[in-house]
């Protein structure tokens, strides 16, 4: 009886730091740094950016995601086609080679939150679940920056946050 209770407590303790940690998340050998987004109105499409570091010795892949706030989550990249930058859905996921950091950022790899049910408001923390081929799933929080932000704010006056 006591043993079962203790196990339940341990399981809860093990699960909670993922959401409680300031603004980095760890899932197995994958470290997720500063997930962020930009303000967007309901009905439009939002984006998700972050760094993904594979600290292990074997490759993994970000293969998808989902979010309560969006109808659908897709993984995109930008490709230069005859001088025109175009967004394309990434086929087969975003590769995470061992020992490397991959950045999801404006103009490169990113998540798309398609069909926003509610607005992404500056300063909000939006839960998004990331799905990795090997590491499994983790829910992280996107910190919403001002609309034109090109990088994660670090406590600047125009809507950045300072939760590091």
Query: Counting every residue, how long is the chain?
Result: 164
Q: Which two tokens stand for residue 111?
A: 């998540």
Binding-site size for Cu ion (CB under 5 A) equals 3
Q: What angle do CA 65, 158, 44 make, to 5 degrees?
A: 40
- Would you count residue 151 as binding Cu ion (CB under 5 A)? no
Catalogue the E-assigned strands of 59-150: 60-66, 70-81, 84-89, 94-96, 101-104, 110-116, 125-132, 136-145
Q: Tell me which stretch binds Cu ion (CB under 5 A): 30-38, 51-59, 104-112, 148-156.
A: 104-112
Shortest distance, CB of residue 76 to Cu ion, whole angstroms? Answer: 3
In the complex, which residue's CB is closest to Cu ion? 76
- Would you count residue 112 as binding Cu ion (CB under 5 A)? yes
Element containing residue 101 per DSSP (H, E) = strand 101-104
* Binder of Cu ion out of 87, 101, 121, 151 (CB under 5 A): 87
Residue the block writes with tokens 């439009």 = 44
Q: Tell me which stretch binds Cu ion (CB under 5 A): 59-67, 71-79, 129-137, 153-161.
A: 71-79
Q: Tell me which stretch binds Cu ion (CB under 5 A): 23-31, 59-67, 84-92, 123-131.
A: 84-92
CA 116, 22, 131, 53 torsion: positive or negative? positive
* Binder of Cu ion out of 23, 34, 76, 161 (CB under 5 A): 76
- Residues in touch with Cu ion (CB under 5 A): 76, 87, 112
């Amino acid at each position: 009886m006591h043993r079962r209770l203790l196990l339940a407590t341990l399981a809860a303790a093990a699960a909670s730091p993922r959401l409680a940690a300031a603004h980095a998340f760890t899932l197995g050998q994958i470290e997720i740094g500063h997930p962020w987004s930009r303000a967007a109105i309901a009905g439009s499409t939002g984006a998700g950016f972050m760094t993904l570091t594979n600290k292990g010795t074997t490759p993994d892949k970000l293969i998808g995601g989902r979010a309560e706030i969006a109808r659908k989550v897709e993984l995109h990249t930008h490709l230069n086609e005859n001088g025109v930058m175009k967004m394309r859905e990434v086929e087969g996921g975003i590769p995470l080679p061992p020992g490397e950091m991959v950045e999801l950022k404006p103009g490169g790899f990113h998540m798309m939150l398609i069909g926003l049910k509610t607005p992404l408001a500056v300063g909000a923390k939006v839960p998004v679940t990331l799905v990795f081929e090997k590491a499994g799933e983790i829910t992280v929080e996107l910190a919403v920056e001002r609309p034109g932000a090109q990088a994660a704010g670090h406590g600047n006056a125009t809507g950045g946050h300072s939760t590091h």
